[in-house]
Every structure is written in structure tokens, then in C-alpha cells.
Structure 1
Amino acid sequence: MITPAQNFLKKQKITYKTYEYKCTVDHDFGKFAATALNIKEDKVFKTIILHHDKTYVTCVVPVNAMISLKNVARLIKVKDLEMTDQPTASRITGYVIGGISPFGQKRKTLTVLSETALKFDEILVSGGRRGFSVGVNPQDLIKSLNAVVGDIIEHKE
């Protein structure tokens, strides 16, 4: 079954690699994917949907990191951001939780990518369903989604 994410990548002529695994959890999907695929957690990225009023933001961060709402807000020049609840995130993106891809979402959102992605030639993000990831070059993600890149993760003091 081709996902909207794969359709988006094909339309954009972006080279990608597919990774499938059996998803048997209902939380921490990204960490599970990293373990199931035997890939380091800093190379596997989760998709988090934030909002400021009615403006939605797609954040792509490593599964082993916590997102910094303050850093994202500062980067995109808004006062504050909140996590979007699961039903709204699914409605906005067209994907189920645990399968939200930054690619091929129902509604176009601003995309923010953690700068840590830039140290890799390939990062894994959700391919549009649970148990399915796609490996893409971070530069292709930035270009195709017009993503903003910055320091958006919490750092231990």
C-alpha cells in the first residue's frame, strides 16, 4: 500500500529507502522503530505537531531527544507553542499517531527540522503508517518542505 508520504516523495523526485518492521507498541513509536530496525536513535526522527492559535507546526526531532517548545517558538518567531492533541494532529495531517510523516500531510504546515539531522546523509522518518519508515537525505526534506532548521531540542544543563 503506497502512502501519501511515498506519493509526495515520488512527485518531488526524492530518492528514499523504505524500512518496514512489525509495530507492537502504542507509544514511543520512534524508539521502537530504532530498536526494531537496529538503527541508532539519533538517526531516527519523530514527527511532533505543535500549534500557536490556529497555526500548526510540524517538528522533526530525533527519537532520543525532547523538543524545546521555547526554542521552536523563538526560531519561528511566535510567542509560544503548545503540543497538539492526538485527534487534532491526526485530522490536520491525515495520519494516525505513530505514523505521522512530515511528507504528504493533508494540510500544509510549517516544518521545523532539528539541526542534528544535518550530520547524517540519511535520516529515518515515518513513512505514513505505523511500522513503516522512509530514509531520506535531510537536505531533500528541507528543500521539499521548505523547512526551517535550528536547535529545537532540550539540552541538559
Structure 2
Amino acid sequence: MTPAINLLKKLKIKFNIHQYEHDVNETHYGREAVSKLDPLLHIVAGQIFKTLVVNLNCDNKSFAVCVLPVDCHLDLKKTAKALDCKKIELADPNIAQKITGYLVGGISPLGQKKHLPTLIDLTAQQFAMMFVSGGRRGLEIEIAPQDLANVLKAHFVEITT
């Protein structure tokens, strides 16, 4: 079990786990998840979400989490505005791993070492269920968007280009 799964079980949140064999040569983790889950579950790419850690005001002291579809790009200006800061940038992968407790490609928005402000892209609300990393590569959690937002105390905001 991962911290993400343990948290959902502890809170008695309804969710499903989906696993697939991760290709160690694959570095496009979101695209891999889509290609391996779609044939089994008949979902669209926009239903699978990636978790990005951003550095607020580029100071390496304050961070936030952004959850967005794997087939979209983070809009840094929209995200900075939503987080009420002047400028943001993607956190260094090593720092993201250290502060979340997860490896890049398996960073879950759930069960991180420290609770960070979290934004979920508005598009999540169009689905009954969405998929987020379960805390390791090849492990996805299927969860209702509102349940995810409630657990994370997250806000739905337009954060993609």
C-alpha cells in the first residue's frame, strides 16, 4: 500500500485501484497511463490527471500542487493568479520528490509528506470519476473529483492552456 491508498482507506473514501506494468524505459508517464488504461477501461485521456509541484515566487521555500489532465499543459500565469503570487515555476524534480515523498512519474496528490495548497483543473468536474497517481509508477487511483477535492481541501480552477 502507498500513503495515498492508506489515506483514502482511513477516510473511508470510495475509490478503485488500477495497476499496469510500467515500462522502465518510458519517461512520458501520463501518456503511458493513457495507453495502458484506455484499452481496459475505455476512458479518454482527459480523465487521467498528472500531479505537478510548483515553486511559488521561485524561492524554493513555498510550494503548491496542481492536478491537471495528462494531455494538457500547465498555464503558469493562470496558476500564479489562482495561487495569489507574482510568479511560479515547476519545482525541481528532486525537490518535488523530497517534499512529496514520491518519485517523479508516481507523485500522487494524496498522502504527501506535507499538505500543500492544491488546485485541480476545472475539467475534472465534467467526469464522474477521474484518475490520479496512486503513489508509484503504474498505479492509478480512480476517484470522484469532488471526493479528491474534499480530501485535499483543493479548489477547482482553470489552470491549463
TM-score range (shorter-chain normalised) is over 0.9
1:47 corresponds to which of 45, 51, 64: 51
Q: How far, CA to CA, are the matches of 1:9 and 1:51 in structure 2?
A: 26
Deviation by residue 1:127-151 (Cα, 9 ceiling, x = unmatched): 0000000000000011111102111
Q: Considering only aligned residues, what root-mean-square deviation do their CA atoms show, in Å?
A: 0.9
Instruction: Give 1:28 deviation, angstroms.
Output: 1.5
Match of 1:15 in 2: 14
SS in 2 for 1:129: coil
How far off its partner does 1:13 sit?
1.4
SS across alignment from 1:98: coil
Name the residue aligned to 1:37: 37
Q: Distance in 2 between matches of 1:8 and 1:28?
A: 27
Which residue number in structure 2 is paired with residue 121 of structure 1? 128
- Structure 2: segments with no counterpart, 5+ residues: none
Of residues 31-40 and 90-99 in structure 1, the stretch that sits farther from structure 2 once superposed is: 31-40
Which residue pairs with 2:116 in the alignment?
Answer: 109
What percentage of aligned pairs have identical amino acids? 39
Residue of 75, 83, 90 corresponding to 1:68: 75
One-letter code of the match for 1:20? Answer: Q
**Hey, what's the Cα distance between the residues in 1 that align with 2:33 and 2:26?**
12
* Aligned amino acid, residue 128 of structure 1: G
Tell me the SS of whatever aligns to 1:128: coil
The 3-state SS of whatever aligns with 2:5 is: helix
Residue of 99, 109, 113 corresponding to 1:92: 99
Output the CA distance in 2 between the equivalents of 1:77 and 1:124: 27
Runs of 4+ with >4 A deviation: none
* 1:29 alignment partner AA: Y
Q: Using structure 2 for the length normalisation, give the TM-score.
A: 0.92
